[in-house]
Amino acid sequence: MRDLTKYIRFGLQSFIAVCGAVIVWRAWPLDRFSFAIVVAGLVAAFIWRRIDKATDAPSVDASALEAHAIMLRADQDGKISFANERLLQLTGYERGTLLGQPMRVLHHVADAETYAAVDAAMARGEKWTGETRIIGKDGRVLWTRMTSVPQMDKSGAYCGSLRVHSDISAQKVSTAARDAMASLNLLSEPLFMVCLDTYNLVFANDAAAKLFNWNRLQMAEIRIFAVDMLYDRLAVQRQVAALKAKQITEFSFPATYHDVPYLAEVQLIEAAGMEPRLYVVLRDQTESMAIARTKDELVATVSHELRTPLTSIKGALGLIRSGAAGDVTKKTSDLLDIAYRNADRLVLIVNDILDLEKMAAGQMDYDIARRDLVQTVKEAVTANEGFASRFDVSINLNTDDEPAWADFDADRIHQVLSNLISNACKFSSTGAQIDVNVERRPKSFAVCVVDRGVGIPSGAVERIFDRFTQVGKSARARSGGTGLGLSIVKSIIESHNGTVELTSVEGQGTTVTVVFPRATNTATPANLIRSAGGKT
């Protein structure tokens, strides 16, 4: 059709040119023949103009379609024979690379059934319209609205198809975002999003807006650090800085709002085309704290009730073992030894539970005084040599005799060191050596207890200081512990403004290091009482 139009236009142009030449040749005044020539030329010019308009309109339409739509043509074998510029721009392909490739290189795997329906419609000679996805060269996904039209040859046989796509990716993203926001509004727990750069509020679900009485029209003006919640602001800002530095991806912290305790869970979310955001969920801890408090009170009550009779039982067994009630046979003495050790173990467990209760309530008292840490370490090592011999383990103390002055409660630090040394003994193999090292650092002293025992699995290191945490059934059977010791160690050391460090390799051993601040001067201050919270 386009070729025929060209020929007609060429013929009209030639005829008009001839008419003009005749008019010039004949000159004025015009006779009838010349007048007929002029009329014929005008008619030809009019027809030419109409043909120009008719042929220009499709050209403009095609140009607009080319700029807006994605167009593909496939041959009867399903291979790409034409791809317009718009497709190449959106997918990142080069035309030479794409032509001759099967159509499926652009198909999303999840649309296999959809494209099967398209192929079936083309084979029947029917048009197909629906939503599909196109995969770009770099894996990007384009949502499109596609119309596929079958192409038939002169005999009516299928010879290919023309596919026209409209990019609806932005609409899909917008719809998905609206659906996501609607889902978040259905959550009963307060949730809000914060811009990582400005800390301004970006979104808050209905529960958060109600809790903080936020006006949705003014949310963009709200800076999250200005919200009147009680929490450790410096600690949270440090964690946020760690998020920005990509050191962590999430963290949590306790907070209180209008006397209601919450656990705030914070996660960094980064997505293409969106500024980094902090997602914050507030979880009400009222019920869980009440349950924990009830459990602690029950354990404490039972422990208090057990301690007095256990102490009496242990004392009575001790008197019988010593012969205060008369001579005992060897067999009876062996049975009494077993009973006494178990009674002693029960007393230690009860005391540990009561210590934890006091620490949690901030009621543990410490007799803090300027003391020589080296001397306390030597006493703890000596006190545990008998225990080590039960496991056929030796203790090697590495330190010099120069005093290491620090402010601490000697009995509590003795308790800490005994716990660490006894753990090392229980988890070491027979004949092994345990090293106790005193290190002098610029602003602190460190006591390291090193064993070469079973070690701790990497997945359990983070929770090893939690209450009632034990690792491995075989180790538990050998140690006979309750999992409270390291939790008590951590609490005591932190109450002395110190830290506890633990490194372990499963199958090779564990090193626990407790660090004490150096005394600011060598003068020995008067003793003072300090609670677990560090207040004097």
**3-state SS string over 465-534?**
CCCCCCCCHHHHHHHCCCCCHHHHHHHHHHHCCCEEEEEEECCCEEEEEEEEECCCCCCCCCCEEEECCC
Q: Per-residue pLDDT for 534 more than 50?
A: no
User: Collapsing DSSP states into helix, strand and coil, what is residue 184?
Assistant: helix
Q: What average pLDDT does this structure show over 208-228?
A: 81
103-113: b (≥16 Cβ within 10 Å) or e: beebbbeebee
162/147 Cα distance (integer angstroms): 8
Q: Are 330 and 336 in contact (CB under 8 A)?
A: no
Task: Please state whether the predicted TM-score (pTM) of the whole model is above 0.85.
Answer: no
Residue 471 CB neighbours (<10 A): 20
How many angstroms separate the CA atoms of 133 and 70, rounded? 12
pLDDT band at 535 (very low <50, low <70, confident <90, very high): very low
State the pLDDT confidence band at 446, using cuts at 50, 70 and 90.
very high
The CA–CA distances, whole Å, from 70 to 118, 164, 172, 318 equal 17, 6, 17, 93
Q: Which residue has the higher pLDDT, 295 or 383?
A: 383
User: Which residue, chain included where needed, has tokens 């039972």?
Assistant: 302
pLDDT in tens, 477-531: 444 555 567 888 888 898 889 999 988 888 889 999 999 999 876 554 444 434 3
Strands lying side by side in the sheet with 70-75: 80-83, 70-75, 158-167, 141-152, 128-135
Position 355 scores a pLDDT of: 74
Phi, psi of 205 (to 5 degrees): -75, 175
Residue 494 gets the label, from left (phi > 0), alpha (psi -120 to 50) or beta, of alpha
Indicate the length of the chain as a whole number. Answer: 536
Taking only Cα atoms into account, the Rg of the chain, rounded to an integer number of angstroms, comes to 43
Q: Model confidence at 474, in pLDDT bands (50, 70, 90)? A: very low
User: Measured between alpha carbons, how far is residue 246 from residues 239, 242, 347, 355, 529 in Å?
Assistant: 11, 6, 48, 39, 43
More confident residue, 175 or 317: 317
Q: What band does 222 get if pLDDT is binned at 50, 70 and 90?
A: confident
How does residue 473 score in pLDDT terms, banded at 50, 70 and 90? Answer: very low
Segment 34-53, tens digit of pLDDT: 556 555 555 555 565 565 55
The pLDDT tens digits of the residues spanning 391-414 come to 899 999 999 889 999 999 998 899
pLDDT digits (tens, 9 = 90+) for 338-377: 888 788 777 777 777 777 777 766 667 788 899 999 999 9
Distance CA 11, CA 1 (A): 16
Q: What is the pLDDT of residue 477?
A: 42
Strands (E) across 118-200 are located at 128-135, 141-152, 158-167, 191-195
- 154-182: average pLDDT: 78
Mean pLDDT value across residues 167-180: 70
User: What is residue 1's predicted lDDT score, i.e. its pLDDT?
Assistant: 47
**CA gap 225, 233 in Å, rounded:** 8
Better-scored residue on pLDDT, 217 or 250: 250
Query: Would you place residue 320 in the very low, low, confident or very high pLDDT band (cuts 50, 70, 90)?
Result: confident
List of residues 6+ apart from 281 with CB closer than 8 A: 189, 190, 191, 264, 265
Higher pLDDT, 216 or 431: 431
Mean pLDDT over 313-336 rounds to 83
The DSSP result for 257-318, as a single string, is ETTEEEEEEEEEEEETTEEEEEEEEEEE-HHHHHHHHHHHHHHHHHHHHHHHHHHHHHHHHH
Distance CA 234, CA 65 (A): 58
Q: Which has more confidence, 421 or 458?
A: 421
| Residue 29: cis peptide before it, omega within 30 degrees of 0 | yes
Strands 444-451 vs 509-517: parallel, antiparallel or unpaired: antiparallel
Q: How far does CA 364 lie from the centroid of its chain?
A: 37
Rounded percentage of the chain residues whose pLDDT exceeds 90: 18
3-state secondary structure string across 361-416: HCCCEEEEEEEEHHHHHHHHHHHHHHHHHHCCCEEEEECCCCCCEEEECHHHHHHH
Largest Cα span, the chain: 163
By mean pLDDT, which of 59-63, 205-209, 437-441, 515-519 is the weakest? Answer: 59-63
Mean pLDDT of the chain: 79
- What percent of the chain has pLDDT above 70? 76
Question: Which band of pLDDT confidence, cut at 50, 70 and 90, is reported for residue 435?
Answer: very high
Gap between the Cα atoms of 21 and 32, Å rounded = 16
**Cα separation, 464 vs 487, whole angstroms:** 8
- 194: β partners: 201, 278
DSSP secondary structure code for residue 178 in this structure:
H
Question: What would the mean pLDDT of 118-129 be, rounded to a whole number?
Answer: 90
Q: How confident is the model at residue 123 (pLDDT cuts 50, 70, 90)?
A: confident
- 1 or 85: whose pLDDT is higher? 85
Residue 137 has pLDDT above 50, yes or no: yes
pLDDT band at 281 (very low <50, low <70, confident <90, very high): very high
User: Contact at 8 Å (CB) between 192 and 205?
Assistant: yes
Which tokens go with 236?
């949270």
Q: Is the pLDDT of residue 162 over 70?
A: yes
Angle at 61 between CA 57 and CA 66, to 5 degrees: 145
pLDDT at residue 226, rounded to an integer: 80
Burial class for 378, CB neighbours closer than 10 Å (0-12, 13-18, 19+): middle
